[in-house]
Amino acid sequence: MEPNRLTIHELQERLRDGSLTSAEVTESVYRRIASLEERVHAYITLTEEAATQQACAADKLIRAGTGGPLTGIPIAIKDVLCTQGVRTTCGSRILEDFVPPYDATVVRKLKDAGAVFVGKTNMDEFAMGSSTETSRFGITKNPWDLERIPGGSSGGSAAAVAADECMASLGTDTGGSIRQPAALCGVVGLKPTYGRVSRFGMVAFASSLDQIGPITKDVEDCAIMMNAISGHDTSDATSVPTKVPDYRACLSRDIEGWTVGIPKEYFVEGVDPEIRASIDTAIKTLEGLGARCLDVSLPHTEYCIATYYIIAPSEASSNLARFDGVRYGFRAPDGESLLDMYKKTRSSGFGAEVKRRIMIGTYSLSSGYYDAYYKKASQVRALIRDDFDRAFTKCDVVLTPTTPTPAFRIGEKMDDPLQMYLYDIFTLSTNLAGVPGISVPCGYTKGGLPIGVQFMAGQFQEEKLLQVPSAYEKNSALEKRKPDL
Active site residues: 78, 153, 177
Please work out, in degrees rounded to the nearest 5, the angle formed at the alpha carbon of residue 461 by the alpha carbons of 380 and 421: 40
Which residues touch 444 (CB under 8 Å, ≥6 apart)?
186, 278, 450, 451, 479, 481
Strand residue runs (E) in 226-284: 259-263
Q: Is 130 in a helix, a strand, or coil?
A: coil
The neighbour count for residue 389, using CB atoms within 10 Å, is: 12
Integer Cα distance of 25 and 75 in angstroms: 11
Query: How does strand 292-296 pair with strand 259-263?
Result: parallel
Class of residue 305 by CB neighbours under 10 A (exposed 0-12, middle 13-18, buried 19+): middle
* b/e map 151-161, b = 16+ CB within 10 Å: bbbbbbbbbbb
Cα–chain-centroid distance for residue 70? 20
Strand residue runs (E) in 229-328: 259-263, 292-296
| Element containing residue 463 per DSSP (H, E) | helix 462-475
Integer Cα distance of 161 and 169 in angstroms: 7
Integer Cα distance of 158 and 180 in angstroms: 9
**Rg of the chain over CA atoms, in angstroms?**
21
Class of residue 424 by CB neighbours under 10 A (exposed 0-12, middle 13-18, buried 19+): buried
